[in-house]
Amino acid sequence: MTAALLDGNATARTIKDELRSDVEALRARGVVPGLGVVLAGENPASAVYVRNKTRACDELGIFHETALFPPSTTTEEVAAKVSEYGRREDVHGILVQLPLPPQVDASRVLSLVDPAKDVDGFHPENLGRLVQKRPRFVPCTPAGIMELLARHDIAVAGKRAVVLGRSDIVGKPMALLLMHADATVTVCHSRTRDLPAVTREGDILVAAMGRAGFVRAEHVKPGAVVIDVGINRVEKADEARDLLDQARLPDFERKGYALVGDVHAPSVREVASALTPVPGGVGPLTIALLMKNTVKAAGLRA
């Protein structure tokens, strides 16, 4: 068995194409969807993520503005910008790019985001609405994964689903969405005993723990659908030889680094029925769902 690759790029393009008519309809009513972004510090990955998100805004005709803060910024400075975005009529969605510098109180900043503009879905009110199955905005990565499963006709109802990781951003909302779709869900973490035995129960396995190549064939039930949320940078040649397919090694040698997921793709591909690639899997869907939430926020405001 060789797993089919679930192409996140193609699914993301389809979602964005569907959004174009929604954006045009709003603009015809005099409403230009707007996204206000907060980027603090000098995290290279965060800068890339924000650049990709604002590029998607440009593709769809969504207004965007990014407030940049130095690594020395304070909670008060970031909070003031978030509050300003909350008051502005031309900003319908607010994105606070995480992680923030360590001295900035991220919980306080996120709690100041207007729940009606919380397009990341991280505000306690929106997370509470998700728990009650009354969602306004769903965190983008889990929402994107559900779109991917639906658009590839992968049934969720009645399946056993295992989520590796319990973060507020991915793990917990992912488990809720799968449960709301009538899967039987197990959430694993660093203290789960006999982890491979637990993960092998999953017809659907979502890996979101941030450890390069952690999930191997021994963790996967034969025929399972494996969703790889991780994005990890590998720079050592011995790690690259272990984690990458042979076809990707020349690119690694040319660049000096490669991006890999939490799944050891070479071994898992021989066991799973379907697998998301890294890059090109979940990442593009996260951006597409951010655009979808921003357009939704503009529509609700209108």
pLDDT tens digits, one per residue of 108-166: 999 999 999 999 999 999 999 999 999 999 999 999 999 999 999 999 999 999 999 99
Phi-psi group of 288: left, alpha or beta (phi > 0 → left; psi -120 to 50 → alpha; rest → beta): alpha
Q: What is the predicted pLDDT for the residue at 44? A: 87
Looking at the chain, the domain(s) classified CATH 3.40.50.720 span 140-283
Q: Collapsing DSSP states into helix, strand and coil, what is residue 235? A: coil
Task: Print burial letters for 261-291: b (CB count within 10 Å at least 16), e (below 16).
Answer: bbbbbbbbbebbbbbbbbebbbbbbbbbbbb
Q: Catalytic annotation on 53?
A: yes
Q: Catalytic annotation on 120?
A: yes
List 16, 114, 118, 120, catalytic entry: 120
Residues of the chain with pLDDT under 70: none
List 16, 53, 117, 296, catalytic entry: 53
Q: Does residue 126 contact residue 137 with C-beta atoms inside 8 Å?
A: yes
Query: CA-CA distance, 84 to 45, in Å (whole number)?
Result: 26
Choose the CATH number for 140-283 among 3.40.50.720, 3.10.129.10, 3.30.70.20, 3.40.50.300: 3.40.50.720
Q: What is the predicted pLDDT for the residue at 141? A: 97
One-character DSSP codes across 194-224: THHHHHTT-SEEEE-S--TT-B-GGGS-TT-
Looking at the chain, the domain(s) classified CATH 3.40.50.10860 span 30-115
Tokens encoding 181: 């779709």
Q: Which helix (H) or strand (E) holds 34?
A: strand 34-40
List 16, 81, 97, 292, catalytic entry: 97
Q: Rounded to the nearest 5°, which phi and psi values hold at 277?
A: -80, 160
Q: Does residue 279 contact residue 265 with C-beta atoms inside 8 Å?
A: no
Overall fold of domain 30-115:
Rossmann fold (3.40.50)
Q: Rounded to the nearest 5°, which phi and psi values hold at 92?
A: -100, -25
